[in-house]
């Protein structure tokens, strides 16, 4: 265990994984802020202290709140795969410089993605930052699966699933 946290690549992974997860968590207070300032709530009990006539009006969806929620959802859909694939990637023993390039590109792309989404910047700024993050994760996944295939001469690699996978990888060369 101490060894994991003395490994350069794993330390770099830990740093960037913590940063992007923290960035994702900050979407929740941001949603709360927009709900309060825009007056758009989802639950009866959240507006129970308001006068009765106001309550119904406050239980609504506001475009700004929905925008932040879509951004949060996009984070869930992209940052969590990055963390999972990134952990396996860090354990697969890549070069530190290559690993850092992956982690930094992803972190940068997601921070820019949030700015582009919440700020409603003109496309394709949001689309491209999303795509860059996806490509970084795919690149790490390729390395993980490729390594596993090479290092492994074990039984579980000789059956249907792996054959299918091996064929796919060889075709893509």
Query: For binding to a second copy (CB under 8 A), which residues are involved?
Result: 1-8, 10-12, 14-15, 17-19, 21-22, 24-25, 27-28, 42-46, 48-49, 67, 70, 72, 76-78, 80-81, 83-85, 88, 91-93, 96, 100, 104, 107, 120-123, 126, 130, 134, 137-138, 141, 144-145, 147-148, 151-152, 154-156, 161-162, 165
Compute the least distance from the CB of residue 125 to a second copy, in Å.
9
Smallest Cα–Cα separation from 144: which of 97, 101, 93, 89?
89
Under 8 Å between Cβ of 12 and 102: no
Cβ distance to a second copy smaller for residue 31 or 173? 31
Compute the least distance from the CB of residue 66 to a second copy, in Å.
8
């Amino acid at each position: 265990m101490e060894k994991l946290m003395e490994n350069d690549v794993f330390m770099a992974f830990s740093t960037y994984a913590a940063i992007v997860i923290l960035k994702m968590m900050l979407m929740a207070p941001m949603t709360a802020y927009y709900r309060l300032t825009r007056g758009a709530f989802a639950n009866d009990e959240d507006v129970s202290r308001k006068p009765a006539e106001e309550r119904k009006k406050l239980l609504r969806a506001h475009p700004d709140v929905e925008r932040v929620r879509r951004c949060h959802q996009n984070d869930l859909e992209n940052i969590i795969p990055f963390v999972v694939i990134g952990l396996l990637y860090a354990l697969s023993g890549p070069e530190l410089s290559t690993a850092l390039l992956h982690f930094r590109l992803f972190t940068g792309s997601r921070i820019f993605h949030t700015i582009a989404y919440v700020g409603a910047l003109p496309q394709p700024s949001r689309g491209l930052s999303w795509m860059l993050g996806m490509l970084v994760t795919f690149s790490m996944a390729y390395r993980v699966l490729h390594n596993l295939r090479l290092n492994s001469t074990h039984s579980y690699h000789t059956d249907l699933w792996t054959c299918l996978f091996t064929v796919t990888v060889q075709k893509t060369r």
